Structure 1
Amino acid sequence: MNLETLFNYKRLTDSELDFFKENGYLVIRAILSPNGLAQMQSEAMEAWAKEKESFDPNKSWLQNSLLVNIHHKSPTVKAYYFNGPLVDIASQLIGPNIKGATSQLTFKMSGNTKPFGWHQDNGYGELEPYNALTTLTALDDTDKGNGCLWLIPGSHKDGQIRVEQNEEQKKSGSEIIVEADESLAIPMEMKAGDVLIFNCWMLHKSDGNYSADRDRRILFLRYADADAIEVYNNSKPRLGKLVKGKTKFPEVEAFESDL
């Protein structure tokens, strides 16, 4: 697999780094080549079709919209996740030691009009240090009509927002929704092959997909410091493949993501 024919490698400029520090997000255009996009779309949809059915309003968000560990099922996603341009970009934003923390498809197919309210990704599986990155690679053109993401620039500066949940809510995996000033929100409209990167404290949401015939398919990859721990899990190290640098945790050093 010739990765340079699939992905467009780059280093962030000083102005891009400054923009990310101030605003908490960055959009990089055409990080996937046309060939890379086509391969990823094909492999992702093959994996999706094996495990998912069409949208059913009676099913949960997880059932309708999420497919975890997609890198186990797609060679192109695996190469992109572990050896693609996002690894070096993550090292510029986080530091020299990086591991993969999450890989999944988050699809909002045509007809799925369920919104997902304001939240922080570090509200779900809190990691420390608080510099983990969410990356959302668009597999379709995404806009307000088919449920694009909205975010509030600079909201990452407010830090971790604590949301109290009872034991029943925790066990059921209910949404962790926070209050936000909608007037400050901007839509993250992208072309297929673009990627949105944002800080773990960024406030963001998505509306429903009200398009008659356009899906909104996104590859969700999360990167973290190689020594990041799970605050919610007795400060155990987050297991994930070491993709750059080194780690103090032997279990991360030895971790093989395909197991």
Structure 2
Amino acid sequence: MDFNRDKIELEENGFSIVEEIFQQEELNKMVDFIETHNFDFSERQLLNRFPELQNIIFESKYFKELYSKICDGKYFLSKAIYFNKPSKSNWFVSYHQDLSISVKNKTEEQGYSSWTNKKGQLGVIPPLKILENSVTFRIHLDDADKTNGCLKVISKSHNKGIIRVDTNFNANNEGQEVTCNIAKGGIMLMKPLLLHASQKSISENDRRVIHLEFCNQEIPMEWLEKKVI
């Protein structure tokens, strides 16, 4: 496969949809692992807690080729999450950017703000350079479309820095909205600064995703989930 187009789209639009990265046998291994370990709707620090899953993911020839095309040798894993929007889930997620990173220590440094502590896990919004040098790989274990809460994004919004999303926010003023239908086995590449949202599910089908973030920047307070690939 030639992933040059996807790399260009990612930089220009803030996202790219890459189909048929994982074959059915590879998907079955991931799904079997998830079901064997009784994953909840959301599992954080995924590869810290389940390092075997990293091996399953990187067994894929096409995933390794895509990763090598998008990320050079300076990149490392900075966050890993599993989440599911189960059948007929009645919540939606409004437009937002993925701004918070997970860190080991709370150290007051210029440019780091909005500290959080969720169940002992520290989060902070870093300087723009960190977010601009990060990329997300969303591995889809199920088909995702508008019936089961696939993502909507605002194309090119990753170029606008941190966008204030408040009562005056209007997505129509930020750019073109794109609905991201993705077949199982596909990957959505995404910049964390891209505005994205998802609707309620009206389907009987799950929408299971393995969300992996990679970065090439070091930080003073150390990455909580750093793994060299």
TM-score of the two chains, using structure 2 as the length reference: 0.75
The answer to whether 1:24 aligns with 2:14 is yes
- d(CA) in 1 for partners of 2:158 and 2:34? 31
Cα distance 1:163–1:204, how it changes in 2: closer, same or farther (>3 A)?
closer
- d(CA) in 2 for partners of 1:217 and 1:192? 9
- d(CA) in 1 for partners of 2:8 and 2:153? 18
Q: CA deviation at 1:69?
A: 2.8
Query: Where does residue 115 of structure 1 map in the other structure?
Result: 92
- Number of equivalences: 198
Query: Where does residue 196 of structure 2 map in the other structure?
Result: 204
Query: Where does residue 161 of structure 2 map in the other structure?
Result: 159
- d(CA) in 2 for partners of 1:21 and 1:83? 26
Kept in 1, the 8 Å contact 2:95–2:165? The answer is: no
Kept in 2, the 8 Å contact 1:123–1:161? The answer is: no
Q: CA deviation at 1:70?
A: 2.9
- d(CA) in 2 for partners of 1:81 and 1:158? 32
Aligned sequence identity (%): 22
Unpaired segments ≥5 residues, structure 2:
102-123
The answer to whether 1:194 aligns with 2:149 is no
The answer to whether 1:40 aligns with 2:30 is yes
Q: CA deviation at 1:203?
A: 0.6
Please give the secondary structure, in 2, of the residue aligned with 1:121. coil
Q: CA deviation at 1:87?
A: 5.6
Q: CA deviation at 1:66?
A: 1.2
Unpaired segments ≥5 residues, structure 1:
1-9, 53-64, 165-177, 230-234, 244-259
Query: Where does residue 207 of structure 2 map in the other structure?
Result: 216
Q: CA deviation at 1:160?
A: 2.3
1:30-109 alignment runs, 5 A limit? 30-47=20-37, 49=38, 52=40, 65-71=41-47, 72-73=49-50, 75=52, 77-80=53-56, 86=63, 89-109=66-86
Query: Where does residue 176 of structure 2 map in the other structure?
Result: 184
Q: CA deviation at 1:201?
A: 0.8
- d(CA) in 1 for partners of 2:165 and 2:222? 23
Kept in 2, the 8 Å contact 1:113–1:209? The answer is: yes
Q: CA RMSD in A?
A: 2.6
Kept in 1, the 8 Å contact 2:88–2:148? The answer is: no
Cα distance 1:140–1:146, how it changes in 2: closer, same or farther (>3 A)?
same
- d(CA) in 2 for partners of 1:23 and 1:137? 19
Query: Where does residue 115 of structure 2 map in the other structure?
Result: none
- d(CA) in 1 for partners of 2:218 and 2:57? 18
Residues 141-184 of structure 1, C-alpha deviations (whole Å, 9 max, x = no match): 110001111111111110123579xxxxxxxxxxxxx6522872
Query: Where does residue 125 of structure 2 map in the other structure?
Result: 126
Kept in 1, the 8 Å contact 2:29–2:56? The answer is: no
- d(CA) in 1 for partners of 2:178 and 2:13? 12
Please give the secondary structure, in 1, of the residue aligned with 2:136. strand
Residues 6-47 of structure 1, C-alpha deviations (whole Å, 9 max, x = no match): xxxx5522x333222211111111111111001111111222
Query: Where does residue 242 of structure 1 map in the other structure?
Result: 228
Q: CA deviation at 1:112?
A: 1.4
Q: Which amino acid aligns with 1:126?
A: I
Q: CA deviation at 1:135?
A: 1.3
Query: Where does residue 140 of structure 2 map in the other structure?
Result: 138
Q: CA deviation at 1:96?
A: 2.7
- d(CA) in 2 for partners of 1:224 and 1:86? 17
- d(CA) in 2 for partners of 1:185 and 1:33? 30
TM-score of the two chains, using structure 1 as the length reference: 0.67
3, 21, 45: which one aligns with 1:12: 3
Residues 200-256 of structure 1, C-alpha deviations (whole Å, 9 max, x = no match): 211101111111x2111111111111x332xxxxx423240111xxxxxxxxxxxxx
